Amino acid sequence: MKQKIQKLLDELSGLSIQTHEELENFRLRFMSKKGLISSLFSEFKSVPAEEKKDVGAAMNVLKNRVAELYESVKRSLEQSEGDTSGEDLTRTAYPIPMGTRHPLSLVREEICRIFNRLGFSIALGPEIEDDWHVFESLNFADDHPARDMQDTFFVSTSPELLLRTHTSSVQTRVMTSQKPPIRIICPGRVYRNEAISARAHCFFHQVEALYIDENVTFADLRQTLLFFAQEMFDANTRIRLRPSYFPFTEPSAEMDISCNICGGEGCSFCKHTGWVEILGCGMVDPNVLENCGIDSKKYSGFALGMGVERITNLKYRVSDLRLFSENDKRFLKQFESAK
Ligand code: DAH
């Protein structure tokens, strides 16, 4: 009997079990009611009393080895199958929660759609740019403060590459590669070296518009702005243009809309003025047209640029810029029903 047990122990150490089927056969052969171990225990009764101690010990070793082998093979088979034990593979899948559009994407698309209806088509440009497209072509004097290291993120010095600080660089890209008439809208991300706070961020989003043709006037600009403001906010929105300065437009203006919270009556949001600023605009400076190879005697144009975060703040009251890039699902979920 001892020899029989030893033979089975030898067999166990050379055994290789690869599949669930082989494991089940092993269990039936060794561990079931009619298996080898229980038949050994039946035989044990007839073992002479003086051998019982030795044979009993050997049987226990065998029994433990069998149990250990069974458990360890079972565990490793389950692990290699991604542990689906106990899972009902036929159950219906849990519903995957619907994601939501980011508020900045919603607003950017709405701005573009309004301008699309006026015949503006989308133009895109690179975020990593050179000095000429971001500054020089747009009439920035060499010592203009916006070129300062404090505002601009430089990427390399030779060639001089930087992260664009505004989408106006896309104007230049289009003007140097297309002939008028040009009617484009350029959405995109821009970068400035600012300390991050509720009101400033090192990246944000702008939408730029440019219209160049023969006889484009300030009246066209004004009418386009009024249409945009009334489509974006509501039909009663009024606009106001204040003289301003940008290197690439002459004359330049900033546009306010009547406060869409108090309707122009005055509230804390509009600092009791009834107006809120939303964008910069102007007639394209003839120097800019010439820099880009467009005859400024024949053509004129207007341009405008706005911050998508600013418009989103007005539409949805998101006043802390940091919320836009934190990816907090509780914030994003609030825009579930927005189109
Ligand atoms: N580029 C300006 C900025 O980043 C915004 C702007 C103002 C764009 C006037 C224009 C414009 O096209 O005409 O602040």
Identify the DSSP state of 273. Answer: S
Tokens of 189: 């991300």
CA of 246 to the centre of ligand 1 (A): 7
pTM of the full structure: 0.73
> Residue 53: helix, strand or coil by DSSP?
helix
Q: Residue 82 burial by CB count (10 A; 0-12/13-18/19+): exposed, middle or buried?
A: exposed
The residue ranges of the chain whose pLDDT is under 50 are none
The model's pLDDT over 236-269, given as tens digits with 9 standing for 90+, comes to 999 999 999 999 999 999 999 999 888 889 888 8
* Vertex 180: Cα angle to 178 and 181 (nearest 5): 120
d(CA 262, CA 279): 20
**pLDDT value of residue 87:** 74
Cβ neighbours around 29 below 10 Å, total? 13
| For the CA of 248, the nearest atom of ligand 1 | 13
**pLDDT value of residue 82:** 63
User: Do 169 and 270 meet the contact criterion of CB atoms below 8 Å apart?
Assistant: no
Does 249 sit in the ligand 1 pocket, CB within 6 Å? Answer: yes
Tokens of 115: 């301008």
**pLDDT value of residue 180:** 97
**pLDDT value of residue 150:** 67
Distance in angstroms between the alpha carbons of the first and the last residue of the chain: 81
By most ligand atoms within 8 Å of CB, the mutation choice from 248, 277, 287, 310 for ligand 1 is: 248
Q: List, as own/partner pairs, every contact residues 255-261 make where C-beta atoms lie below 8 angstroms and the sequence separation is at least 24, other chains included.
A: 255/225, 255/229, 255/279, 255/280, 255/281, 255/304, 257/229, 257/233, 257/314, 260/233, 260/234, 260/314
**pLDDT value of residue 70:** 92
